[in-house]
Structure 1
Amino acid sequence: MKANRFWSWLFLILGIAYFVLPLIGTVEFSLKMRRGEYSLDAYWAVLADPRFQATFGYSVMMAVATIIAGVVLIVPTAYWIRLKLPHWRPFIEFVTLLPLVIPPIVIVFGYIRLYNTSSWLPLTGTAAGTNLLLMFGYMTLSLPYMYRAVDTGLRAIDVRTLTEAAESLGAGWLTIMWRVILPNVLVAVLSGAFLTFAIVIGEFVLAALLNRPAFGPYLQLIGANRAYEPAALAVIAFAITWACMGLIQLVTRFQKHTMARR
């Protein structure tokens, strides 16, 4: 038992060191912009850059739009599959896994091929159309995470009983979705939303090939032309991702605490 515990702790420490040491090195390098001392000059330079503000704001806007569109699409679909079409679940799960198998570069080239200015629906001909196409691309990339989060939330409740009870009180389909189903899977939806936000903030391929002013291409541009600012941006992006993960844990704990009190 002691030998097993020793090897378990050893591998745990090695795993933590594998992830933490590069992060510590990046943080230290980002603080060395001022020769001979540590400073936050690289962070101030990045945060004061108008391109950072514009690209980060654009990506946040696209993330919010992607989350809203994803919730509108996925929650009713997962609910209907679970309630009326359970035999379709294996097929839907297979479809939602495809974005993990198909590279984003293949997806975006398919979009460009189908929706260029000479096609039947020229979305790439205008900025609004390209933004819409980019949002669809982000929805595709986040589909495995959002769908599974919502599906897990639906498994935790008795969908059929809730639906029958609401219908017996005269509720329509929209009322059932908005006032019965969505509040019960809200924590699962928020978990999928935070994961979607992290994906959109760090995504590069779709935004770069569609030529949109997103945060991912800005990260690549700064990394190719600066020294200390890319390290600061990497730390900021890492902090945003971990903040999303922390919010997921916080929301999950809040749900467990609420259920325990009930």
Structure 2
Amino acid sequence: MTRRIPILSIVIAVLGAAFFIIPLIATFNFSLRMKRGELSFEAYKSVFESDLFVSVLSFSAVASLLAIALGILIVVPTAYWVRLRLPKMRPVVEFLSLMPLIIPPVVLVFGYVRIYGTNSFLPLTMTDAGTNTLLIIGYVVLSIPYMYRAVDNGMASIDIATLTEAAESLGASRLRTIAFVIFPNIRSAIVSGAFLTFSISLGEFVITSLLNRPAFGPYLVQMGQDYAYQPAALAIMAFAFTWTCMALMEVFANLKPGQRLFQRRSPKTVEKALE
């Protein structure tokens, strides 16, 4: 029996891909035209040679990594405890984890300024360290929906109750069980959530701008107001970074617990693979 080619599905897929790819190609082509009459990577060179670019990228990277660490410390024990002891509370916790998608970031940051402002009992906004702390907390809040679901799905793929009972029968405490038993088994899920958190935090604009922090998001917007070709180069770089994170998520998501990304192979194994 001859298989029918789904022409309509192919056309829709091609049109959908063109909707995203054509603007990307046009942006990349524009970013190469900083020198009149020739194609060059001068815009990219100009971006990398800027001390401000290195400064804001370093600040955003450090803040994002701290947000990842704090998010893991909050989400992993919470998801573990809800699945192990409070399964009836899962719908409530899932709903609460979706609140950052409902509440606009501008409302969140104005709440921070109101609570931790000048007349507050804890005036964090009066110092750079305090404001940076609020920024990291804001990043954690924005990433909670993605981090929680990644970790929760990872825990759904393992038998938490059995692993906990086995660890406790060997004398492990609950904290030790989470750190040395549960955590390694959901490593790929945590890494996926970490990449999502990093990509969200790196380009975040509203909270960073209103807290007046020297981060990558406001820098990208400012570059768009002052220059023509450098913002296009930054947009291509940000797109490439996002897709790199997605590719790494896919790689780590397919790793089994205890499996390394690059494993050493013995000469005999290599010989068998080549036969």
CA distance in 2, matches of 1:79, 1:198: 25
**Aligned twin of 2:264:** none
**Aligned twin of 1:135:** 136
Do the aligned residues in 1 keep the contact of 2:187 with 2:257 (CA within 8 Å)?
no
**Aligned twin of 2:248:** 247
**Aligned twin of 1:151:** 152
Aligned CA distance change for structure 1 residues 29 and 256 (closer, same or farther; 3 Å): farther
CA distance in 2, matches of 1:8, 1:150: 34
Cα shift readout 1:188-220 (whole Å, capped 9, x = no counterpart): 000000000000111000000000000000000
Amino acid at match of 1:174: L
Equivalent residue of 1:157, what SS? coil
5+ residue gaps in structure 2? 261-275
CA distance in 1, matches of 2:116, 2:200: 23
**In percent, how many aligned pairs have the same letter?**
52
1:31-46 alignment runs, 5 A limit: 31-46=32-47
1:257 CA displacement: 11
CA distance in 2, matches of 1:254, 1:38: 41
CA distance in 2, matches of 1:205, 1:43: 26
Amino acid at match of 1:22: P
Equivalent residue of 2:39, what SS? coil
Do the aligned residues in 1 keep the contact of 2:185 with 2:257 (CA within 8 Å)?
no
1:229 lines up with 2:255 in the alignment: no
Cα shift readout 1:142-181 (whole Å, capped 9, x = no counterpart): 0000000000000000000100010000001121011100
CA distance in 2, matches of 1:256, 1:168: 22
Q: TM-score w.r.t. structure 1 length?
A: 0.96
CA distance in 1, matches of 2:60, 2:36: 33
Amino acid at match of 2:115: L
Equivalent residue of 2:121, what SS? coil
Do the aligned residues in 1 keep the contact of 2:184 with 2:257 (CA within 8 Å)?
no
Do the aligned residues in 1 keep the contact of 2:117 with 2:125 (CA within 8 Å)?
yes
**Aligned twin of 2:25:** 24
**Aligned twin of 1:201:** 202
Equivalent residue of 1:254, what SS? coil
**Aligned twin of 2:270:** none
Question: Which structure's CA Rg is the greater one?
Answer: 2
1:252 CA displacement: 1.7
CA distance in 2, matches of 1:111, 1:144: 20
Which 4+ stretches in 1 moved above 6 angstroms?
none
Count of residue pairs brought into register by the alignment: 258
**Aligned twin of 2:184:** 183
**Aligned twin of 2:124:** 123
Q: TM-score w.r.t. structure 2 length?
A: 0.91
Do the aligned residues in 1 keep the contact of 2:185 with 2:258 (CA within 8 Å)?
no
1:8-157 alignment runs, 5 A limit: 8-157=9-158
CA distance in 2, matches of 1:15, 1:2: 22
Amino acid at match of 1:2: R
Amino acid at match of 1:196: T
The structure with the largest helix share of the pair is 1
Cα shift readout 1:74-108 (whole Å, capped 9, x = no counterpart): 00010001001111111100000011111111111
CA distance in 1, matches of 2:103, 2:84: 29
Amino acid at match of 1:181: I
